[in-house]
């Protein structure tokens, strides 16, 4: 990798970090200071529909134990509920509560607010070029933590 490629790679990583930090700050301002970035991955997955902790583990590509710990934490803080799966009494479905839905909306608002700071730092043409390039390079698919 040449120096310019390395600089580009680290700039994208820094920008990602700044976005996550911006979302975290926005979440705290909106009353969700107990939400951590990893919780956002769970909210994103559950926004697509109810699943089990095992299903979350598969979607997020994390261990079942890690998924169970995340779900337990989110239950304790009122963001999700567990209910018996009517089709399989051994399984428990995980669903966002109204607080979880509100946190998901707050995360989106926070992300939009932070991205808007980029819009103000760049010309309209530069911002549109950045957005187009990121949308071209960013492979559609799930978001997942890197554990």
Give 140's pLDDT tier (boundaries 50, 70, 90): confident
Spatial separation of the C-alpha atoms in residues 61 and 145, rounded to whole Å: 8
pTM: 0.86
Decide if domain 3-136 falls under CATH 1.10.3720.10.
Answer: no
Asked if 74 and 34 touch (Cβ cutoff 8 Å), the reply is no
61: its two tokens: 């590509």
Give phi and psi for 16, each to the nearest 5: -60, -45
Give the residue extent of every domain in the chain: 3-136
Give 52's DSSP letter.
E
pLDDT tens column, 48-86: 899 999 999 999 989 999 999 999 999 999 999 999 988
Q: Tell me which of 16-20, 37-41, 138-142 is least confident.
A: 138-142
The pLDDT, as a whole number, for residue 118 is 96
Which class for 45: exposed (0-12), middle (13-18), buried (19 or more C-beta within 10 A)? buried
């Amino acid at each position: 990798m040449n120096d310019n490629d390395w600089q580009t790679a680290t700039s994208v990583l820094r920008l990602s970090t700044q976005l996550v930090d911006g979302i975290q700050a926005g979440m705290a301002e909106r009353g969700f200071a107990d939400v951590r970035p990893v919780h956002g991955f769970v909210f994103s997955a559950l926004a697509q529909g109810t699943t089990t902790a095992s299903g979350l583990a598969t979607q997020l590509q994390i261990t079942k134990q890690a998924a169970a710990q995340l779900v337990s934490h989110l239950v304790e803080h009122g963001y999700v509920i567990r209910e018996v799966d009517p089709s399989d009494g051994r399984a428990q479905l995980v669903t966002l509560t109204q607080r979880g839905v509100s946190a998901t909306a707050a995360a989106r608002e926070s992300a939009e607010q932070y991205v808007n700071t980029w819009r103000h730092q760049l010309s309209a043409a530069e911002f549109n070029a950045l957005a187009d390039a990121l949308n071209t390079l960013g492979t559609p698919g799930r978001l997942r933590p890197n554990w």
